[in-house]
């Protein structure tokens, strides 16, 4: 199986439009999807989030999410930086929650249970497929995040830190080389 597809802004818009129009829990799904795109989080990290991980005691959305070692793939704690547009998305999502107890999981299934990584992966795959995007997986947001930042000139060391990779070789495998990047590169001559 190949790497997850990186998505264009138009494809992301198509996914979000489909989700908004056709999915029952669209606010939840939107926030889950955008955490992978705007923060480069793995789906397992997304579903491990508790309300207290994203808001402070005054109810303000945090600009950094501190993931414990038990919440990450490599069992190594890391900090996820949350851009303003994602902070706004989280604020909107939390405002719509019935329960805002800090120990509650941020994202729950329709049966009010915690998502497993597998269930969340299947949910995202279904949304991507139904919106007509071929080759997208729950890892597409993360790959797109890393590729977009690389395309904007962010160094691979910074990308590795943002992704929580201990090796820049791992990060380099995430970067999808595209025609736009190649054209920009030769114009630097």
The reply to whether 30 falls in a domain is yes
Residue 106 · residue 49 · CB < 8 Å = yes
Is 36 within the bounds of a domain?
yes
Domain annotation covers residue 152: no
**Residue 80 is assigned to a structural domain of this protein:** yes
Q: Which of 50, 94, 44 is nearest to 73 (CA)?
A: 44
Task: Indicate which CATH number applies to the domain containing 134.
Answer: 1.10.443.10
DSSP conformational letter for 67: E
Residue 29 is predicted with a pLDDT of: 97
Give the domain range for residue 86: 9-141
Question: Are 146 and 171 within 8 A, CB to CB?
Answer: yes
* CB burial of residue 34 (10 Å; 0-12, 13-18, 19+): buried
SS3 content of the chain, % helix, strand, coil (to 5): 55, 5, 40
Residue 126 lies in a domain: yes
- Residue-level pLDDT at 1: 54
Q: Let me know if residue 151 belongs to a domain.
A: no
Report the Cα–Cα distance between both ends of the chain, in Å, rounded: 37
Tell me if 24 is assigned to some domain: yes
Number of domains the chain contains: 1
What is the pLDDT, as a whole number, of residue 94?
95
Task: Determine the Cα–Cα distance for residues 94 and 90; give it in Å rounded to an integer.
Answer: 6
Q: Per-residue pLDDT tens, the chain, 189 aa: give them.
A: 578 899 999 999 999 999 999 999 999 999 999 999 999 999 999 999 999 999 999 999 999 999 999 999 888 999 999 999 999 999 999 999 987 787 899 999 988 889 999 999 999 999 999 999 999 999 999 999 999 999 888 999 999 999 988 888 888 888 888 787 788 888 888
Is 55 within a domain?
Answer: yes
What does the alpha-carbon distance between residue 29 and residue 27 come to, in Å, rounded to a whole number? 6
């Amino acid at each position: 199986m190949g790497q997850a597809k990186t998505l264009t802004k138009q494809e992301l818009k198509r996914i979000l439009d489909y989700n908004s129009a056709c999915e029952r829990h669209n606010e939840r799904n939107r926030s889950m999807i955008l955490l992978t795109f705007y923060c480069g989080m793995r789906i397992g990290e997304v579903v491990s989030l508790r309300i207290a991980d994203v808001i402070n005691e005054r109810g303000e959305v945090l600009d950094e999410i501190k993931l414990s070692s038990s919440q990450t793939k490599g069992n190594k704690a890391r900090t996820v930086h949350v851009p303003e547009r994602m902070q706004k998305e989280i604020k909107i999502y939390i405002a719509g929650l019935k329960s805002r107890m800090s120990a509650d999981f941020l994202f729950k299934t329709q049966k009010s249970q915690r998502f497993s990584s597998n269930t969340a992966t299947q949910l995202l795959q279904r949304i991507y497929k139904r919106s007509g995007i071929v080759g997208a997986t729950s890892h597409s947001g993360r790959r797109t995040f890393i590729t977009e930042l690389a395309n904007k000139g962010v160094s691979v060391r910074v990308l590795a830190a943002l992704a929580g990779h201990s090796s820049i070789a791992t990060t380099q495998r995430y970067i999808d080389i595209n025609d736009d990047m190649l054209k920009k590169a030769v114009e630097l001559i």
